[in-house]
């Protein structure tokens, strides 16, 4: 397997969906909670990245094995069939990456406390159930919620917790503060999966995957895509007004014209290769600028 094929198998281009919420958590830990642990952050980064790659490999593996459209999707679309990768090799990589991530996670639990174990179990469960089992989350109308909540909020929550271990307030008030700062990332990650499901609407129907688009249709899916982009920017304004983030994070609002342009392109045409990257760009630019502008204020 070549490096290019491996990077596509683990969907390396989508890793910003987990890395940037983690970095945002580090920023909030330093700015708002005045706490930071370099060792804990590095360990969490490695474990998170390994398991994220395992989940994406598992997604491709399960889609390959469960494909109903064996002539086109399985042989020509799915990377395992298209690149003639051994399914046994993919399964072995999934197992190795997951075990290493779990071992690092257990070591972190020893360092920071038992709450991390429950947070980690939740994230592992969502990652495994995302494409596995009789009713995988990515084939159900709840996929957008779980992907956004887990990668956008839970990763940031863990990032804050491991930097403030031993003195973390588990009150609802404190959790809502973290959730508000994480909300733009959560919504943009959710929109990434929503855009993917909009583009794959017919393919999902052919493979008996009933995503949210099966129930609400493409038009309402596009309306939801736009609405979540609007809420993301309102959340940024609210977080600054609540003094959970520095004023500099308001500079993120400067990318509104870019987000509007990408949204219009996606509204006009929903084709995987041509317009799905619009959602990827919104997530990448939006989350990256949010992290940078938060960091400037620190």
Domain limits, the chain: 3-297
Question: Over 90: is that where the pLDDT of 116 sits?
Answer: yes
Angle among Cα 32, 37, 41 to the nearest 5 degrees reads: 100
In b/e form, how buried is each residue of 218-243, taking b as 16+ CB within 10 angstroms?
eeebbebbbebbeebbebbeebbeee
| Nearest-angstrom CA–CA distance, 37 and 29 | 9
pLDDT at 71: 62
pLDDT at 183: 97
Q: What is the CATH number assigned to the segment(s) 3-297?
A: 1.10.600
Give tens-digit pLDDT for 137-181. Answer: 888 899 899 999 999 999 999 999 999 877 899 999 999 999 999
In b/e form, how buried is each residue of 36-72, taking b as 16+ CB within 10 angstroms?
ebeebbebbbebbbbbbbbbbbbbbbbbbeebeeeee
Give tens-digit pLDDT for 182-221. Answer: 999 999 999 999 999 999 888 777 777 789 998 999 999 9
Cα–chain center distance at 215: 23
Q: Kindly indicate the confidence band of residue 75, based on its pLDDT and cuts at 50, 70 and 90.
A: low
Give tens-digit pLDDT for 45-64. Answer: 999 999 999 998 998 888 77
């Amino acid at each position: 397997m070549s490096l290019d094929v491996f990077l596509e198998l683990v969907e390396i281009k989508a890793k910003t969906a987990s890395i940037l919420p983690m970095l945002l958590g580090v920023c909030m830990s330093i700015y708002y909670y005045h706490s930071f642990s370099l060792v804990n952050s590095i360990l969490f980064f490695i474990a998170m990245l390994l398991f994220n790659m395992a989940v994406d490999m598992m997604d491709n593996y399960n889609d390959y094995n469960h494909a109903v459209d064996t002539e086109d999707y399985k042989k020509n679309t799915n990377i395992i069939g298209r690149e003639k990768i051994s399914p046994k090799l993919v399964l072995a990589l999934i197992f190795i990456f997951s075990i290493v991530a779990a071992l690092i996670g257990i070591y972190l639990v020893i360092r920071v406390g038992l709450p991390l174990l429950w947070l980690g179990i939740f994230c592992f469960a969502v990652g495994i159930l995302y494409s596995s089992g009789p009713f995988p989350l990515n084939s159900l109308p709840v996929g957008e919620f779980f992907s956004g909540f887990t990668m956008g909020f839970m990763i940031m929550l863990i990032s804050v917790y491991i930097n403030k271990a031993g003195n973390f307030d588990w009150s609802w008030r404190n959790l809502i503060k973290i959730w508000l700062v994480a909300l733009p990332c959560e919504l943009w990650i959710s929109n990434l999966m929503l855009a993917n499901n909009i583009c794959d609407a017919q393919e999902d129907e052919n493979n008996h995957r009933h995503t949210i688009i099966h129930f609400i249709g493409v038009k309402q899916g596009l309306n939801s895509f736009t609405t979540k982009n609007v809420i993301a920017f309102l959340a940024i304004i609210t977080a600054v007004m609540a003094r959970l983030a520095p004023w500099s994070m308001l500079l993120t609002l400067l990318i509104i014209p870019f987000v509007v342009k990408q949204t219009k392109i996606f509204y006009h045409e929903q084709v995987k290769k041509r317009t799905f990257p619009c959602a990827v760009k919104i997530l990448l630019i939006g989350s990256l600028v949010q992290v940078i502008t938060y960091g400037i204020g620190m």
